[in-house]
Amino acid sequence: MAGRLLQDAGLDFRLAPHGTQSPARNPRYIPPDSLVEVTCRTIHGRFLLLPGRDLNAIIIGALAKAQQRYGMVVCGLVYLSNHCHLLLQPRNARQLARFMNYVNSKIAREAGRLHWWREKLWGRRYGSVIVSDEPEEERARLRYLLAQGCKEGLVESPKQWPGATSAQAHSQGWKLSGLWFDRTAEHKARKRGEHVPKLRFAEALELVITPIPSWRDEPEHRIDARVRALVREIEDETREEIRRTGRQPLGRQAILEQHPHAQPANFTPSPAPRFHAHRRSVRRRLENAFRRFLHAYREASALFRQGKEATFPPGSFLPSPGFNPAPG
């Protein structure tokens, strides 16, 4: 029974092979205040996140509302037609879980309304990869996020992507504007027979974008210059790829004309690593810390399954429901 509870809570005792994420997930593990790259994919890779003025505003509004509610540090985001990437700095795994549950639930409902989709929107729970605190790796992950849309051959510049993205905000005020719709209040008003204009229950919100940790002590103009340099690198790389292959980007208009229920011919996401690290020694340190965490978790779960008192490691999710916060 206890083992079933652990499985229902999304926990598993097996260690996935290095460089992969097993369908039977390992316990969620995030060292305090780590930078984390989060990825979410739509079911079957369908274009249910197809860019548009309404959905873009809703996505930013959902993130802003969740940030307001849970205090999440957001360092970057990009929503493509069938998946998204976020660069976040949660305090712990529980904060990340609550934030992502709030955001993904809202986006799923609103995208379903817009695209007449009544089935599940997300293919599975979000995936998260811990990013080491090396400045080179933090920069590399931000560059990877900004390159989305360019590396797939969709647009020539990160600034041309028509969907929700922090590409502009990184160098223009570090804020994004969105809308949060109170559908509960809207439903009650309709039941009372009231006329409900489209934006009556919409709340304008701002999502604050924070520089990656290794840049935060630098003056604002220096950070802006670093972001512009990243964008230029991506644009130069994209132009070189176009010159080499002769293939032109799909372009904004063709992207917007896709049907949201459609899906790509080949959709095989590559497996994600457990950690992003620049140096092998740092990766080894992160792997060892995770193995110690996993060993402590397995010992505690074995006791729990036997009905004995168990002490789970700090930062772990306990058998549903519960969370074991870090001391202090």
CA dihedral 261, 51, 201, 118 (to 10 degrees): 10
* Sign of torsion over alpha carbons 79, 142, 75, 132: positive
Does residue 273 lie in a domain region? yes
pLDDT at residue 321, as a whole number: 58
Domain membership flag for residue 61: yes
Residue 318 lies in a domain: no
Type of residue at 291: R
Q: Considering the domain boundaries, does residue 4 fall inside one?
A: no
pTM of structure = 0.88
β partners of residue 37: 87, 129
Per-residue pLDDT at 85 = 97
The pLDDT assigned to 320 comes to: 65
* The pairing of beta strand 316-317 with beta strand 323-324: antiparallel
Give a yes or no: residue 103 inside a domain: yes
Tokens 């978790």 sit at which residue? 297
Q: In this structure, is residue 325 part of a structural domain?
A: no
**What are the pLDDT tens digits along the chain (328 aa)?**
333 333 333 333 334 444 444 445 678 889 988 999 999 999 999 999 999 999 999 999 999 999 999 999 999 999 999 999 999 999 999 999 999 999 999 999 999 999 999 999 999 999 999 999 999 999 999 999 999 999 999 999 999 999 999 998 876 779 999 999 999 999 999 999 999 898 999 999 999 999 999 999 999 999 999 999 999 999 999 999 999 999 999 999 999 999 999 998 877 777 888 999 999 999 999 999 999 999 999 999 888 888 888 888 888 887 665 778 777 6
Query: Are the beta carbons of 138 and 214 closer than 8 angstroms?
Result: yes
- Specify if 301 maps to a domain: no
The total of structural domains in the chain comes to: 1
Query: CB–CB of 72/88 below 8 Å?
Result: yes
Is the preceding peptide bond at 260 cis, omega within 30 degrees of 0? no
| Residues in the chain, total | 328
Within-domain flag for 233: yes
d(CA 156, CA 248): 9
Nearest to 185, CA basis, from 173, 199, 172 = 199
Domain that holds residue 110: 32-294
Return the CATH number at 210. 3.30.70.1290
Whether 215 and 137 have beta carbons less than 8 Å apart is answered as no
Sign, CA dihedral 81-83-84-90, equals: positive
Q: Tokens at residue 138, please? A: 């933090």
| Distance from the Cα of residue 300 to its chain's centroid | 30
Q: What is the pLDDT of residue 27?
A: 83
Q: What is the CA radius of gyration of the chain?
A: 21
Which residue carries 């701002």 as its tokens? 206
